Amino acid sequence: MFKFFETLVDPYCHYEENDRPPRRLWPFMKAYMRPFHKVFWMAAIMSVIVAAVEIWLIYYMGRIVDLLSTDPATMWETYGLEVILVALFILFLRPFLQAIDVLILNNAILPNFGTLIRWRAHKHVLRQSVGWFENDFAGRIANRIMQTPPAAGEAVFQVFDAIAFSLAYIIGAAFLLSDADPRLMLPLLVWIGLYALLVRWTMQRVGPASKAASDARSQVTGRVVDAYTNIHSVKLFAHDDRELNYAREAIEHTRSTFQTEMRIYTIMDVVLVFLNGLLIVGVVGWAIWLWMQGQASVGAVAAATALTLRLNAMTGWIMWALTSFFRQLGVVAEGMETIAQPIDLVDAPDAKPLDMSRGRIEVRELSHHFGRESGGLDRVSLEISPGEKIGLVGRSGAGKSTLIKLLLRFYDAETGSILIDGQEISAVTQNSLRDQIGMVQQDSSLLHRSVRDNILYGRPDATEEQVVQAAKKAEAHEFILDLQDPQGRTGYDAHVGERGVKLSGGQRQRITLARVILKDAPILLLDEATSALDSEVEAAIQETLYGMMEGKSVIAIAHRLSTIAQMDRIIVLDHGQIVEQGTHAQLLSQGGLYARFWERQSGGFINADEAAE
């Protein structure tokens, strides 16, 4: 039975991806609700049925009171079968109806609705560009991805578990009182009007207050995760107190917003108790007065009393359900600031996979300044022949990394274009482009998974033998065999910690090299690929790197000029433009910027400050 309800909706069902999701709350929620339409109708119908049964029970308790005023023998003889049937209904059919109601809510809707939102939200965020991630805290993004689905699920749950039920219940209560005596509806209608005003007052304030509190919580998460992610820097500079104060600002802001939210609930509770007192005195007092006038039966008084006491108990629950509903919508609205962000860097509508035949790279009048007036690249044109190895040199900020990022299409160039084998990279699919490029970065962060999984990231279908072979070429096999994590996993099964924190910089770099070796892409990008290695290991790997370059088009960024001296051509960038190019020997003979770099480098590194002077 559980399985039937749990599989009524597939949270991973196919859907049409939207690069520009709705930015308003209801259209946003509606897009996620589409697979649940039938289940929502079932939930609404069952909520009404369950509420009707509860109202009918109160009515029947009043009828029992009236029946008990007759002779017991006559009562049993006349109404015995009716009472037995009602008892059977209460024992068997009522629990069955209740079970269907809660199975739809608890097993069909709640787990699947949250899962669907989390899956689609994560998928949407993963499609964002690198630049988008660089403009936000990873912790805040993750927090919104995690807190929005349960909030949306809770909001939907309250709609059917409380709001639909309570509306049906109040309408049924009005009919029940009017059946006993139409005049009993008057105090109920007055109470409903006052209650609606209180609900309106509360809802107008709860939504914004909840969103502010949710924003504040996400800010705390972002700051705390930022400190944990950079714990080495925090400890290195002895800034524990600074980080505590930085977090305290956000924590105090969270407390302040939460206090504002709680004040609303306190006012609501006090006013609600007063209104419920009016309801009890109004309905029960009037029912007793009617009975004293002989215009109402004892059963009617009993039913009215039971009904008002039940409403008195329910109103707090209903109000909390409503405030919870709007509070959760506030959380969803805050999450939408991340989840509903448009994806600006997308594949062209008619984009096709990159057809890699030779590996020729053409850069035509390329400019990109990241929205600033200076920095980046300025009208750069460059051709790299198939299999040619290019060294890229320049001061910090000269545009070297910008060129690499544009080639990978982490950003779209402001002007100009890049072509690979005659195909503009903006006209091919991003995944097919990056499939053909292998890159080793200076900051070689790893996934918090096993060493094997990290190497296999280069080619998931590789065999164990190929993984080991790649590790050996990267001079990583020996130290991998000695690894052991706190859970006792060893060798290639050992986990490396978040961003590979359990390994040294050189070890991380070598695993990254193994990953790229395994990928064996026709275009190779090296951004300070050996910067984290000691001289002995670098010397051993240098031969491997040159072996990797064989037959590939290569762009290598280096400050240690000796690592690129043997390249086919060296490009010197300065202020976003190519100022020199040629072989190592040619550039030295020209006596230009490259020659000055070479003369002034210390231990093989560019002395950027002296060169700038």
Region for residue 429 given its phi and psi (left: phi exceeds 0; alpha: psi -120 to 50; beta: otherwise): beta
Q: 12 pLDDT exceeds 60?
A: yes
Question: What CATH number has the domain bearing residue 198?
Answer: 1.20.1560.10
Q: Is residue 529 part of a domain?
A: no
Exposed / middle / buried, residue 439 (Cβ in 10 Å: 0-12, 13-18, 19+): buried
215 within domain boundaries: yes
pLDDT score at 608: 45
> Is there a contact between 126 and 345 (Cβ–Cβ < 8 Å)?
no
pLDDT of residue 555: 93
Number of domains in the chain: 1
Q: Is residue 281 part of a domain?
A: yes
Contact 525, 404 (CB under 8 A): yes
Q: pTM of this prediction?
A: 0.76
- The angle, 0 to 180 degrees and rounded to 10, between the axes of the packed helices 72-88 and 37-67 is 170
Q: Per the domain annotation, does 372 fall within a domain?
A: no
Q: Which domain holds residue 305?
A: 10-339
Specify the higher pLDDT residue, 604 or 311: 311
The structure tokens listed for 37 are 């339409």
Asked whether residue 25 is assigned to any structural domain, the reply reads yes
| DSSP labels, 374-435 | SSSEEEEEEEE-TT-EEEEEE-TTSSHHHHHHHHTTSS--SEEEEEETTEEGGGB-HHHHHH
Specify whether the CB–CB gap between 191 and 314 falls below 8 A: no
Which of 32-46, 54-68, 549-563 has the weakest average pLDDT? 54-68
Distance between alpha carbon 266 and the CA centroid of its chain, in Å?
32
Reduced to 3 states (helix: H, G, I; strand: E, B; else coil), residue 282 is: helix
For 474-478, which contacts have Cβ atoms below 8 Å and span 24 or more sequence positions?
474/510, 474/511, 474/513, 474/514, 474/517, 474/541, 474/544, 475/510, 475/537, 475/540, 475/541, 475/544, 476/507, 476/510, 476/511, 476/513, 476/514
With respect to residue 482, please indicate whether it lies within any of the assigned structural domains. Answer: no
User: What is the chain's mean pLDDT, rounded?
Assistant: 85
Beta bridge pairs of residue 553 = 523
Answer yes or no: is 431 within a domain. no
Report how far residue 128's alpha carbon sits from residue 4's, in angstroms, rounded to the nearest whole number.
36
* Residue 555 dihedral angles phi and psi, to the nearest 5°: -125, 120
- Position 541 scores a pLDDT of 67
pLDDT at 609: 46
- Domain assignment of residue 129, yes or no: yes
